[in-house]
A and B are shown apart, each in its own frame.
Chain A
Amino acid sequence: MKFLPLILRNSWRNRRRTLLTIASIGVSMCLLGVMIAMYSAFWLSKPKDNQALRLVTRNRVSLAVFLPLAYQQQIEKVPGVRLTMIDSWFGGVYKDAREARNNFPRFSVEPEKLFPMFSEWTIPEDQKQAFLHERTACVIGRDLANTFNFHLGDRIPIRGDIFPGDFEFIVRGIFDAPSNSDIMFFNKEYIDQAMPERRRGQVDTFYVLIDDPQHSSRIADSIDAVFRNSTAQTKTESEQAFVVGFLSLLGNVRMFLVWISAAVMFTILLVSANTMAMSVRERVREVGVLKTLGFTQGTILGLILGEAVAISIAGGAVGYLISTVLLKGVQRSPMGGFLPSLRVVDPLIAAVCILLAASIGLVSSLVPALGASRATIVEALRTTD
C-alpha cells in the first residue's frame, strides 16, 4: 500500500497516453455498463414490490387465442387472489400504421380496476372519475401525451382490426408512471358493444393481483390447475416473465447482449494490454535501477500490475458514469416499457463495472509485468529502448 503514490505517479507520467487509455476504456466500458444493467434488469433483478404482486393469465396456445370471460370468477376463487382485471390487446390502427410512433400499445380494460391494479401509477382523482363514468373515455400515459401533444378532451380515432370497427376515444385522464408510458387504456364495454354477439366476452389476458409476492408461483400454478381439463388451458406467469417473454419477439436478445459484451471486453483487454506493454517497454532500464536499489521481483510485479489496475479502474469509473446517461435514454425509449426494473443508478452494477475493469487491467498487464520483473539487472540496465 505504501507504493500507491509511486504507482499513481508512474501512471501519470505519460499523461497523454494515460488519458487516451482511460478514455478508450471508458467509452467501451460505458457500453458494457449499459448491457450489464439491461441484462440484470431482464433476467436477474427481482421485480419491484408492486410488479411482484401481479400475475398474467393467458391462453396456453398463444396470445392470439382468447379466453372465455367466465374464467374471471373462477380465478378470483383461487386463494391468494385479491383482484383480477380483463386486459385485452386491442391492436388497431391510429392514422397510418406505417409510421412507427403511431403503433403505441392500446388495451381495453375494466376501468375501475386499472389503478388499483397498477398502484404505482398516479392520476388526479377527478380525471379518474371521469374515466370511470364515460364509456368512450380513455386514459393515456404522460409519455404518449407528450409524443402527440394530446390534451384532456382530445379525441383519438382508432380503427380496430382484431376487434373490427371504427372507434373514437376521448382523453379524460393522463397518468404518470415510473417507467415508459407510451400507452393507452379504454373501457372494454365500449368495444364489446360494437362486437357481434359471438365475439363478446372474449378476453386476451387476465391481470391478477395477489396478496403476497412469496406465493406468486404457487398461485400461478393453482390458477392453471383449475383449467387443466378445460378446452382452453391457461398459462399464468409473473408480469415480469410475461413482459420478458414479449422481448423474445425481437430475436435472441440475450445472445445479442452476451456476444457484444464479449467483443467489448476483449477490445478493452487489448487496449489496456497495449498501453501497459508500451509503458513497460519504455521503462526496462528503470526496472533495472529499482532492482539495483533492492526492490524484489514481487514488488516490481505489483507496481506494474497496480498501475494497470489503477488506469483501468479510472476507465471503468468514467465508463460507468457515461453509462448512466445512456441508461436514462434507454429508460425513456420504447425499450423502457420492457424494463420496468431498470435502475439508472445501481451501486451493485457500478461495483460490477469497476471490478470488471480492474480484473481486465490485471489480466492485460500480466505478460509485460512478468517479463519486466523477471529480467536480470544487467539485462535491464543494458537495454536502450
Chain B
Amino acid sequence: MAIPLSYNLRNLVVRRTTTMMTALGIALTVAVLLAVLALVNGLRVTLSSSGDPRHVIIMRKGATSELTSLVTRTQFQDLKFKAGIANGADGQPLASLELITIISLEAEGSGTGDNVTIRGLMPAGIAMRHNVKLIAGRWFQQGTNEAVVGKSLADRYPDARLGKKLRMGRSDWEIVGVMDAGRGAQESEIWGDVNQVAADWNRVLYMSSALVEATDAAARALVNSINDDTRLDAGAELEQDYFARQTQSATPIEYTGIFVAIIMAVGSSFAAMNTMYAAVARRAREIGTLRVLGFSKLSILASFWIESVLLAGLGGVLGCLLVLPLNGVTTEVGANFSQLAFGFQVTPASMVAGVIFAVALGSVGGLFPAASAARKEILTALREI
C-alpha cells in the first residue's frame, strides 16, 4: 500500500525553511538553464522572422555569410532576368544587388566599439522587405550619402540617431530615417544606396550578395535553377534557410550555458541529498511507526523519493518564475562579425524542460536517502530519538 501524498506535502510544509532553501538552490540552477535557453530562443525567433518564404538569396558558391560572399555586377545582370522572379509595381524584376560591410560604433556608456552591419541596397530591396516600415524621417535618396537605421540600433548607439552624421568608409553619411523591422534582423542594420556604399568603400566590381523575390510558390524551383546554372556560377538558397543557418552563432553560448547548468545541477543535487538525509534522520521514529502500521519497505522508499521529487519540482517552478521577468529584455550577440539585437524569449516548452530538469535532479538526489530510509530496521528506528 502506498503512503498518501499528503504525508509528503505536509512534511515539506512543516519544514518550510529547509524546503524553501533547498528549492531556491534548485530554482537558481533551473533559472540559469532557462535564461540561456531563452537567449538562444530569442535569437532563433529573430532570425526566423527575418526571412520571407518567397525570398531567395544569392551568394558566391560555398559562402556561408553575406559578409564573406562576393557577387559581381555582371552576375547580377544575368540573374535579374531569370524566370520565376516576380516583377515589382514598376514592372522591373524584384531583385536587389547588395553590399554588406561593417563599421564600428560605440554603444551608450560602453566606451568600446561594436561592429554594426551596413547594407547597401537597391530600391527593389526596400520594396521587397515587407516587414520593414519607416517610422521616422524618410528613405534615403539614390546617389546621396544618406542612410536609414534600424530602430533598436538607433536606440543603442547615440551616434546613429536621426539627424546625426556618421563616418563610414571614407566620407560622412547623414541619417535621414529610422525603420522598424518587427523582430527581424534588419533592426540592427544601417541601410544606404548600394552604389554610394560601394563608392565609399572603394568596391567597384564585387558586391556581396543579391536578393530576389520569386513569384508565388516558385522560390524552391528558382533556387534550383540558379544553382544549376553553370554560367552564372553562384549559389542560391531560401532566405529563411540562410537565417536558420545563422542561429549557429549561438551554439557556443548554448553549450556553455548547458554545461554551467549541469555543473550547478550536480551541486544542487548534493544539497537536495543533504536535505533529504536530514529529513530521514529526523523522522526515524515516524518511519518505524509507518513500518509497524504495515507499510512496506518499498512504499517507504517510494514515499521519500516522491518527497524529494516534489521538492525539486517546486524548485523547478520557482526557477521558471525567476526567469519570467527576463522575457522580452533586449540583448545582442555577435552574428557574422556584427551585432544583432534581439529579445529573450521564455517559451512554455523551455519552462517544461526546466521543470523536468529539476525533477531529474531531485530524483537522483533523493534516491540514496530514500533507500536509507527504507533500510531502517523497525526496532532501531523506533528506538532513535
Contacts and interface: CB of A to CB of B under 8 A. Distances in A.
B32 A260 contact: yes
Contacts of B18: 274, 277-278
Contact of B70 (A31, A161, A231, A266): A161
A93 B68 CA distance: 9
Contacts of B260: 31, 260
Interface stretch (A61-69, A131-139, A145-153, A220-228): A61-69
Nearest to A273: B21
A249 interface: yes
A231 B169 CA distance: 9
Interface in B274-314: 274-275, 277-278, 282
B264 interface: yes
- Interface size class, chain B: 35 or more
Nearest to B340: A251
Interface in A80-135: 91, 93, 96-98
Contacts of B338: 249
Given A20-B273, A270-B271, A251 B253 contact: yes
Contact of B62 (A61, A97, A251, A271): A97
Given A93-B62, A270-B25, A274-B274, A61 B169 contact: yes
Interface string A251-295: 110001001100110111011011101100000000000000000
Given A161-B68, A263-B31, A263-B32, A62 B104 contact: yes
Interface string B231-259: 00000000000000100000011000000
Nearest to A159: B62
A31 B168 contact: no
A79 interface: no
Contacts of A312: none
B201 A65 contact: yes
Contacts of B273: 20
A282 B170 CA distance: 75
Interface in B42-78: 60, 62-64, 67-70
B68 A91 contact: yes
B331 interface: yes
Contacts of B104: 60-63
A20 B277 contact: yes
Summarize A's interface: helix, strand, loop or mixed.
Answer: helix
B137 interface: no
A281 B275 CA distance: 13
B243 to A, nearest CB: 15
Given A161-B69, A245-B112, A245-B113, A251 B332 contact: yes
Contacts of A31: 260, 263-264
Nearest to B205: A196
B63 A161 contact: yes
B188 interface: no
A248 B21 contact: no
B140 interface: no
A1 interface: no
A159 B233 CA distance: 15
A379 interface: no
B334 A249 contact: yes
Interface of A: 16-17, 20-21, 23-25, 27-28, 30-31, 60-65, 91, 93, 96-98, 159, 161-162, 164, 198, 231-232, 245, 248-252, 256, 259-260, 263-264, 266-268, 270-271, 273-275, 277-278, 384-385
